Amino acid sequence: MTKANRNLYRKEKRTAVLFIVIPLIGFSVFTLVSLVAVLVFSFADFNTYRNTFDFSQPFKNYLNLFTNETYSTHFFRAVGNTVLLLIGIPIGMVAGIALAALLQAKAVKKGKKIFQVLFYLPAVTSAVAVNLVFRYIFNPSYGIINRLLDADIHWFSDEWLIKVAIILKNTWSSMGGTMILYIAGMLAIPQSYYESADVDGASATHKFFKITLPLLTPTTFYIIITSVIGGLQSYADAKLFGDGAAGSQTIVWFIWQYGINQGKQGLASAASLVLAVFIMILTIVQFRFSNRWVYED
């Protein structure tokens, strides 16, 4: 290597580092430092009025979170609600794949595009609008559901019914996005697989379960993980749809309620950290598996 070339390489390396310096700073300040701070907060007793930290009982927040009668009840309720609401994910996925299969069916030709565009509409509508409209639709005294059924169903005060309502709402808003991902996955399957199945006289159902579904595994896995990560961070459902009703309180709602609303930042930081650990594990699982599934077959 000549001296001129070495100089050129050194210059290229320096420029390359320069080009990534802004994201590096952003990540360090807004994520790394914040994460360390949340860790520190979670071991501190923070006094809002005097603006001081007290580290004399480092595990107090965690003890409170898991054993204090009021706090742990609220926290475990939030965790339980958040996890139960994840049941909506497989429901939305089944709806999404059914829609995708329906639109890819041979008998459906005319208007395919229009249906596809319409079904995706909820995905571009804000969570605020969706939650407020559905809160009106489910209103126990004048909502259209109870009025049409002429029933007196307590959608908000019952801790199970409010979950049913939230899951119905989330299925409505998520199935279009899932459908698009599945259609993309289906279009990537080589037509020859189906042709050879046709030669063997396979039925449409058989082809769907033996060819389409197994080959869509990477898409399915992607949707499950991203939806679970999103679901664990759900907040608008609790804040807007449930308006803080006990049956709708989620982990992020708990963090907001104690950390921002009530100024109990130590307690909320401990909850944040528990949530962050959960999500980090899930993300690592996703990267591990998506590599195996997407690249190796």
Contacts of 3 (CB under 8 A, 6+ apart): none
16 binds another protein (CB under 8 A): yes
> Judged by CB, which is closer to another protein: 49, or 69?
49
Interatomic CA distance for residues 10 and 20, integer angstroms: 16
The stretch among 19-27, 79-87, 156-164, 195-203 that binds another protein (CB under 8 A) is 19-27
> Judged by CB, which is closer to another protein: 94, or 105?
105
The stretch among 61-69, 86-94, 136-144, 191-199 that binds another protein (CB under 8 A) is 136-144
Angle value at C-alpha 278, between 282 and 255, nearest 5 degrees: 135
The backbone region for 141, taken as left when phi is positive above 0, alpha when psi lies in -120 to 50, beta otherwise, is alpha
In the set 7, 17, 154, 209, which binds another protein (CB under 8 A)?
Answer: 17
CA-based max dimension of the chain: 87
Residues numbered 148 to 207 that lie near another protein (CB under 8 A) are 148, 172, 176-177, 180-181, 183-185, 188
107 binds another protein (CB under 8 A): yes
In the set 117, 154, 196, 292, which binds another protein (CB under 8 A)?
Answer: 117
268 binds another protein (CB under 8 A): yes
In the set 1, 3, 5, 22, which binds another protein (CB under 8 A)?
Answer: 22
Least Cβ distance, residue 279 to another protein (angstroms): 5
> Are 54 and 44 a contacting pair, CB within 8 Å?
yes
Q: Tokens in use for 247?
A: 């049956």
73 binds another protein (CB under 8 A): no
What share of residues in the chain are helix, strand, coil (percent, to 5)? 75, 0, 20
Q: Tokens in use for 161?
A: 């019914």
Interatomic CA distance for residues 296 and 291, integer angstroms: 7
Least Cβ distance, residue 267 to another protein (angstroms): 10
Name residue 269's amino acid. Answer: S
> Judged by CB, which is closer to another protein: 69, or 126?
126
38 binds another protein (CB under 8 A): yes
